[in-house]
Structure formats: C-alpha cells, structure tokens
C-alpha cells in the first residue's frame, strides 16, 4: 500500500497566498517589475577646466577625474554628447594670481568659465551647459562670497552674483546655478537675467547645500581650500542636522524664480531629496559630490566591493529617493555601461 504524501512544511508556509520571490527568479521578470530605472538622460557630468592647451591633469583625491584645458574638454564633451549625456556643469580652476578678496574675475566675460562656455556652445551643439555661480573659485579666501571684516557679507555678494549670472548667460551658459547659499540670491539673479533680456536662461538653485565634510576633494581640485583661521562656511551653508530648514530654503528659492533645485551632498541626504520632491514636485537634482565618489573609489580599490556595482547602486538610490537627475563624476562611465546594455538587449 502506497504511503500518502505528507507535507511537512509548517501550515503558514503551505497557505502562503503571496510569494514575492516569484517576481525575482529571472532577469526578464525583475526588469518587468523594476520600480526605478537609471537612464543616460538622468546624468549631468561635472568638469574641471584649466588654462592652457593639451592639458589633462589627474586629481589625486579624485581617481579617474582630470582637470582639462578647453581643447581637451571639447574632446570629452563630444564623447559625452555622443553617449547621450544631456548636460555638463563647468567648474573653473582659477590661478591663485587671479584671485582677490572680492572675486573680481567672476564677472570677467573673458574669464576661463565664459571662454569654456563659448567653446562648448559652438563646438558641441545640443549639449546643455551649466555654470556655477559662486565666488569660491575666484576669492583668495576660498569663500562663496565676499569676505570682509571677518565675515562673508550677504547683500554685496548677491549683487556680484547677479552680475556674474548675466555675464555667464551671455557667454553661452544655458543654466546658471547659484551654489553660494546667500539669502535672496535667486530672486536677484532672476531679476538681473530678465532685465538683460535673458529670460530663457534657467536657474538651477543649490537650494539645500549642506556644510559637508564630503566636499574636500572638490576643493582640492579647484584650489578653493580656505586658509587657516578663515571664517567657517557653516555661517552660510546648512547644518547637516536640519531637514525642515531645507524645505524652507527650497520654498524660498522656488518663490524667487528657481526652475530646478538641488540637494547637495546626495547619499547622506536621501531623506531630504525625498521630502523636497514630495513637498514641491519641482525638478529635483542630487549631486553625488566629490567625497562620495572618492569614498566609493577607495572602497573598491581596497577590494571591499565592486566599483561598477557600488556606483550603480548609489545612483539608483538617488532615483529611488525622488531625484530627477544626478550630477556625478562617473557620468561618462555610466553612460557607456547603459549604451552597452542597450546594445546587448537589442542583439
């Protein structure tokens, strides 16, 4: 006589109505139900531009990233455009001899950033060009504003930033991106642009920019490290402990005319990205800043994890948190991977 089969599993397992693992067993079904997808149009590539010709200077604190002279920038920008990267963000590396306490070179129409913008707009049509509107590359103190009497003065800085935005827009920047965190700068910039007939120029506000330890490699790259004893940037950048304050900053910048808003840094502030997106629904960007990038690189170089996999996972975290676009030094690398995967899926 055949012994009847007895299901030895616990009753609750025998009666499972839902088994989420069924949706994970094959790549095709994982792809079918994937909630968030990273595409090349999500990427913005930040670039460091220097004086000279034929210059490619590696940056010790940012492995895989280089300072580029304008001619070399054009080579890589054409590659970015061919890969589908929609925009670059230009950061000039200004020689110390051209810096002063007022950041005078920031409003020079023939300055390095403006020459780079003109070259990009002429040589790489269709590529969006984002200009950093802040004084830290131009000031001898390395601050984002005018340093006077032991402080970074707000209103005088805003006046200069408004002039700087107009000069940059006239040079060919499609987007001006105030990253200074001075009060009222977005409204002043919008008014100045409109008065100059530049109402089509977009404003990307670094609306929630925190006083972060993760900016170190960037400051080395552009030479904006502060001298010993200088006033702390925490007097104008946000306290990392605050989230509700970020919502207030974003609200003010949108009221003043910002078209897009940025949360910076990215990974330590995913909660802020989500709150900003949920509250305002405005185009929201995240910046995978230099320290985040360098940290991932260092971990991968030490054998702790796979660089491509960790990088990919970190960028997906931004999308999951609500970011519409991501500024990342790995934009070209990710764009190449996406292109390879798309080609493989078609074959």
DSSP codes, 132-150: EE-STTTBTT--SS-EETT
Catalytic residue chosen out of the listed positions 99, 209, 233, 319: 209
CB-side neighbour CA atoms (13 Å) of 102: 7
**pLDDT of amino acid 231:** 60
CA 151/CA 220 separation, integer angstroms: 23
**pLDDT of amino acid 111:** 97
Is there a catalytic annotation at residue 264? yes
Residues 6+ apart with CB under 8 A from 337: 308, 312
CA 130/CA 128 separation, integer angstroms: 7
Give the containing element (helix H, strand E) for 45: strand 43-50
For residues 41 and 86, the answer to whether their CB atoms sit within 8 Å is: yes
Global pTM? 0.93
Query: Encoding tokens for residue 184?
Result: 């009222």
**pLDDT of amino acid 224:** 78
Model confidence pLDDT, tens digit, residues 1-22: 566 666 777 776 667 778 899 9
**pLDDT of amino acid 3:** 66
For residues 17-55, b (16+ Cβ closer than 10 Å) or e, as one string? eeeeeeeeeeeeeeeeeeeeebebebbbbbbbbbeeeeb
Model confidence pLDDT, tens digit, residues 140-191: 988 999 988 888 999 999 999 999 999 999 999 999 999 999 999 999 999 9
CATH superfamily of 38-346: Aldolase class I (3.20.20.70)
Q: What is the DSSP string of 233-299?
A: GGGTSBPTT-SHHHHHHHHHHHHHT-SEEEEESSGGGHHHHHHHHHHH---EEEE--HHHHHHHHHH
Whether residue 34 has a cis bond before it, omega within 30° of 0 = no
**pLDDT of amino acid 341:** 79
Query: Encoding tokens for residue 328?
Result: 């990342």
How many CB atoms are closer than 10 A to CB 273? 26
**pLDDT of amino acid 284:** 98
Write out residues in the chain with pLDDT < 50, as ranges: 228-229
Is there a catalytic annotation at residue 277? no
**pLDDT of amino acid 342:** 73
Catalytic residue chosen out of the listed positions 99, 233, 264, 277: 264
């Amino acid at each position: 006589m055949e012994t009847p089969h007895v299901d030895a599993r616990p009753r609750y397992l025998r009666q499972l109505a839902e088994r989420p693992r069924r949706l994970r067993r094959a790549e095709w079904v994982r792809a079918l139900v994937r909630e968030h997808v990273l595409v090349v149009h999500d990427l913005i590539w930040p670039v460091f531009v220097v004086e000279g010709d034929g210059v490619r200077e590696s940056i010790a604190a940012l492995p895989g990233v280089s300072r580029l002279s304008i001619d070399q920038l054009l080579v890589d920008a054409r590659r970015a455009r061919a890969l589908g990267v929609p925009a670059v963000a230009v950061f000039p590396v200004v020689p110390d001899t051209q810096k002063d306490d007022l950041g005078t070179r920031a409003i020079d129409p023939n300055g390095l950033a403006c020459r780079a913008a003109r070259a990009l707009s002429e040589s790489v049509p269709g590529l969006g060009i984002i200009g950093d509107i802040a004084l830290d590359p131009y000031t001898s103190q390395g601050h984002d504003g005018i340093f006077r009497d032991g402080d970074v003065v707000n209103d005088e800085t805003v006046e200069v930033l408004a002039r700087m935005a107009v000069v940059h827009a006239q040079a060919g920047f499609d987007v001006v991106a105030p990253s200074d965190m001075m009060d009222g700068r977005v409204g002043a910039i919008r008014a100045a642009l409109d008065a100059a007939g530049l109402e089509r120029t977009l404003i990307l506000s670094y609306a929630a920019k925190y006083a972060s330890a993760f900016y170190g490699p960037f400051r080395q790259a552009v030479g904006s490290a502060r001298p010993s004893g200088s006033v702390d940037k925490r007097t104008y950048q946000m306290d990392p402990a605050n989230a509700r304050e970020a919502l207030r900053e974003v609200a003010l910048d949108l009221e003043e005319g910002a078209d897009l808003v940025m949360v910076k840094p990215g990974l330590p502030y995913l909660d802020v990205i989500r709150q900003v997106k949920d509250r305002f629904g405005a185009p929201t960007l995240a910046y995978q800043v230099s320290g985040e990038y360098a940290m991932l690189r260092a971990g991968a170089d030490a054998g702790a994890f796979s660089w491509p996999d960790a990088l990919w996972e970190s960028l997906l975290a931004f999308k999951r948190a609500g970011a519409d676009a991501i500024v990342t030094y790995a934009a070209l690398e990710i764009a190449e991977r996406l292109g390879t995967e798309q080609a493989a899926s078609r074959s």
